[in-house]
Amino acid sequence: MQQDIAVIGIGLSRWGELWEQSLRDIFVESALHAIKDSGVDHIDSMYVGSMSPGLFNNQEHLAALLADYLGVGSIPSTRVESACASGGLAMKMACLDIMSGTSEIVLAGGVEKMTDVDTDGATLALASAADYAYEVYQGVTFPGLYAMIARMHMDKYGTTEQQLAEVAVKNHLHGSMNSMAQFPQKINVDAVLNSVVIADPLHILDCSPITDGAAAVILCSAEKARQLKLHPQIRISGLGHATDTMALHSREDITALSAVEKAGITALKMSGKKIDDIDLFEVHDCFTIAEICILEALGLFPKGKGGNAAASGKTRFDGPMPVNTSGGLKAKGHPVGATGIAQIVEIVTQLREQAGERQVKNARVGLTQNMGGSGGSCLVHILEAV
């Protein structure tokens, strides 16, 4: 990167079904935590990722609303959207703001309040991230789209429903050690396989939940971070951003997440790292099959060989390539606009060695991968402890 950027503050709201809190409440909660953690007395600008506040909450113009309720005056505030990758995009834009020299201290946040509508309303809002004319209008929802990906992966490579279930079991194990997780309960393979089928072969325990929540980080130049000296310095050394066709039928291979692969290559090249240099990963496991395909697209496993990753123990927090130590979207929750920022929060927590019983030993470099829809957009960030 042209200028070293550091994460100096992190914050999360409580995640779950937050009936008594509004969208603005949970965003301000996470932002104040991040500001307090950073030790700064002001921010110069902010970027907020949010996918569909107009559909979930009948509220647009979030940039001004949230700056007002955070009490930061007339600073430049921008809301960005890239479906479920909105948080990751907010992170990128905050980095570019600092790199341009426009701002010195920037808040990157994400928020979604998904339970202000019923299940049908949430399904409709989420479906807006798919190709409406060719997918949604034909009756396909996101569980259906990922079920197609799963079925193709199973047919091509021999992946099994039990291997999908092992991903959920592993991520719930990690979530059981995360006090902020929406579903911190351990589960077993039988529980997954015996849960209700949502879209064959995906069971409900293969799917991430509907979640209310927010996350925020404070960024500044590495030089400014050295002056503050409040935390061990965590540097953003690489970022990648790519898109793909939205409709699955337009892709040569629906099990190959092209945007993930391209964004990963870009981020690794920028950071000067290889995939083997990464100590832990937070990836977008909106469905269990998504984690498998993402690990293959990033190059952790050869194509078609990611199915056994969780069952083998390789991706556990104490394995050689820990994945989703937070519990991932599956157990931690998935307030869609906030997910990409929450991934950054987990990596920073790990690199500061503050993750408690789920702490990854000797963690120095982490990667986050946040994607929109069925892989139509993807953001990858690489962070290093200096």
Q: Positive or negative, the Cα torsion across 262, 263, 265, 269? A: positive
Burial class (CB in 10 A: 0-12, 13-18, 19+), 46: buried
Sheet strand arrangement including 5-12: 77-80, 45-49, 105-113, 212-221, 5-12, 234-243, 377-385, 365-372, 280-282
Contacts of 246 (CB under 8 A, 6+ apart): 130, 131, 135, 373, 374, 376
Contacts of 62 (CB under 8 A, 6+ apart): 23, 48, 50, 53, 79, 111
Hey, what are 173's tokens? 């194990």
Beta strand spans in the chain (E): 5-12, 45-49, 77-80, 105-113, 197-199, 202-203, 212-221, 234-243, 280-282, 365-372, 377-385
Helices and strands, counts by H and E, the chain: 13, 11
Q: Note the helical H segments in 59-140.
A: 62-70, 86-100, 119-127
Distance CA(295)–CA(308), nearest Å, equals 11
DSSP state at residue 359:
P
Hey, what are 227's tokens? 């002056």
According to DSSP, the residues that pair with 46 across neighbouring strands are 77, 107
Q: Is 84 a catalytic residue?
A: yes
Name the 3-class secondary structure at 178. coil
According to DSSP, the residues that pair with 112 across neighbouring strands are 213
Minimal CA–CA distance to 324: which of 364, 302, 362, 292?
Answer: 292
Amino acid, single-letter form, for residue 40: V
Catalytic option among 33, 84, 203, 231: 84
Q: Is 378 a catalytic residue?
A: no
Catalytic option among 172, 203, 231, 334: 334
Active-site residue list: 84, 334
